[in-house]
Chain A
């Protein structure tokens, strides 16, 4: 089959590789019909995530049709149309039993490695380095889905691929980001980053009761999308002082909830952002965190900071004192995708009313064979290019 393989910093190639095979009784093989490139894939593309191996197949946002089943999968049939959560979960451990699927104890074959780094290991992820299990990803024609009986969700025929694809990751990620922000009716929510995760976080903030959403980025097209589709007020951080403006916009109190949809490759031009860039270049710190610092500093007393943006290592100049003295609640982590799918499938279908159609974020489409070009465009042209869908 054709698959997109990783060969180092900004070097990804579409190659002919062996087809995937069933390795365990709970596996399934899926023929992929649609797959997307995620902001998280850019961290791999830029060599920010350790333990990648040459030839690793990327991709964790994919859906398709079941073509082969292991002997213990009884709740799926050949031909079922399914979306696959990007977190791999066993369904039977302490964490899965509590719906903390992205913290599954049993899916990462390299859990011992992750434990050395983090004390405990989270779940495995598709196509996201050997630290997270080394599973082959789905930017390919076929993929092996482990624990398919809990890790493949049938979707109704009435949903197109475009409508269903983002259930794999970014729609539930936006939803959980809003849930983690403890939003109360009437709240003002500030969202850093207007990438796909930011866009769906804005929408989810309203679902959770927000009165106002203020979205922050520096890319005009993304801010535009946040205004038109997201009904958010927007701030361009290159044009205004974000902290002062948020303070004014909230009558001097600060946003009730602040959500960092940027993660470890945060940009910025203030002294702290430049300092971060120098430090990461010098390998003195691993993650850049300008947006996170701002979110913590901006948040009102007693408010919540939710962090769906990915961090991997050590943070420098993290304003923990501000978080402490303002009595903030911080919540973060990989998304427990499985937990939200039934609810989100309903939201997309709409139950009588028009459903929420997440496909508006798609700006670019490529055949899988052009995936390297797609990565390059997504990386270099964040203005026009918001979400890329690949078709095998």
Chain B
């Protein structure tokens, strides 16, 4: 890239600008942190299926902790034709946790698309999703595992669907969880199958706090999404998920005695 004086100047301009943004967002983050922390402390008082909107947890679908203010509608370029600076983007694109991951699946694009398109298939490879039920034309109801044996529920809608190309969805207001996500499908040459790229964004107001909270529960959202996408590929290619859970082994203590 050619470096001109002009571009160096504009570089410093944008640096300053982003510093300003950062300061502003930091305040948001602090606000968010207190809300989230409050939610965390209050979680013990929650009963199964109890009041939603307090706390959402690390969910395979790429979920977010939502503040109580209800300001966290998020949209970005995921499946919608907007730029990072879209007016729809309440939260700057560099905020929040964004997970992007690609895999190639050695199956025809129609088969791969069809499998994801049937939302009731999703719990088969999304580890922490208990069930997804179709509730309308493009709507579905989600139930997911939450920490401490709790469950969280929310509704989602597909707002963009192009067969064999794209599915984009968002959670609907009022649920425990908000997220925006899209998956793109592309045919690969020479019988390599189909590449899919999953884009998930969650937590518009909390920045990296989401991950920090998830960390308190021993979960890493990005690697969960990673694992779910890997499972998706494995289910299609191998027909099952490889596992050693429940297999036999010797005692896991060196005190075991010889026969």
Contacts and interface: CB of A to CB of B under 8 A. Distances in A.
B2 interface: no
A323 to B, nearest CB: 31
B193 interface: yes
A57 B249 contact: yes
Given A55-B249, A55-B251, A94-B193, A25 B239 contact: yes
B192 A94 contact: yes
B238 A13 contact: no
B104 to A, nearest CB: 7
Given A24-B243, A97-B106, 17 more contacts: A5-B256, A14-B259, A15-B251, A17-B248, A20-B248, A23-B245, A25-B240, A26-B238, A54-B250, A54-B252, A56-B250, A57-B250, A72-B239, A94-B104, A109-B243, A111-B230, A135-B247
Contacts of B251: 15, 54-55
Interface stretch (A100-108, A197-205, A290-298): A100-108
Contacts of B242: 24, 88, 90, 106-109, 124, 133, 146
B106 A92 contact: yes
Nearest to A6: B250
A134 B252 CA distance: 13
A19 interface: yes
A3 B250 contact: yes
A178 interface: no
A344 to B, nearest CB: 25
B240 A26 contact: yes
Interface in A1-34: 1-3, 5-8, 11, 13-21, 23-26
Contacts of B243: 23-24, 109
Contacts of B27: none
Contacts of B249: 5, 17, 53, 55-57, 136
A7 B234 CA distance: 32
22 contacts: A3-B248, A5-B250, A8-B254, A15-B256, A15-B258, A17-B249, A20-B247, A20-B248, A23-B247, A24-B241, A26-B240, A54-B251, A55-B251, A72-B239, A90-B238, A94-B106, A106-B242, A133-B242, A135-B244, A136-B248, A144-B247, A144-B248
Interface string B201-241: 00000000000000000000001001100100110011111
Given A25-B239, A106-B237, A136 B244 contact: yes
A159 interface: no
Contacts of B233: 105-106
B106 A54 contact: no
A274 interface: no
Contacts of B253: 54-55
A109 B106 contact: no
A369 interface: yes
B250 A15 contact: yes
Interface string B73-104: 00000000000000000000000000000001
Contacts of B227: 112
A92 B258 contact: no
Nearest to B237: A92
Interface of B: 104, 106, 192-193, 223, 226-227, 230, 233-234, 237-254, 256-259
B247 A14 contact: no
A280 B230 CA distance: 35
Contacts of A15: 250-251, 256, 258-259
A54 B254 contact: yes
Given A2-B259, A105-B237, A93 B250 contact: no
A88 B247 CA distance: 16
Contacts of A72: 239-240
Contacts of B234: 90, 105-106
A122 to B, nearest CB: 13
A372 B258 CA distance: 10
A147 interface: yes
Interface in A342-377: 369, 372
Contacts of A7: 250, 254, 256
Contact of B237 (A90, A133, A372): A90
Contacts of B106: 92-94, 97
A179 B256 CA distance: 45
B248 A92 contact: no
Interface in A175-224: none
Q: Which 9 pairs of residues, A with B, have the shortest CB-CB distance? A: A5-B250, A55-B250, A90-B238, A18-B248, A92-B237, A106-B238, A55-B249, A106-B234, A134-B244
Contacts of B238: 26, 90-93, 106-107, 147
Nearest to A149: B239
A17 B252 CA distance: 11
Contacts of B257: 13
Nearest to A90: B238
A55 B227 CA distance: 26
A53 B256 CA distance: 13
Contacts of A3: 248, 250
Contacts of B104: 94
B259 to A, nearest CB: 5
Contacts of A90: 234, 237-238, 242
Contacts of A14: 258-259
A28 B36 CA distance: 48
A209 to B, nearest CB: 31
Contacts of A107: 238, 242
Contact of B223 (A93, A97, A112): A112
Contacts of B246: 21, 23
Most buried by B among A25, A105, A108, A369: A105
Contact of A13 (B193, B223, B256): B256
Nearest to A94: B106
Interface in A25-69: 25-26, 53-57
A15 B223 CA distance: 36
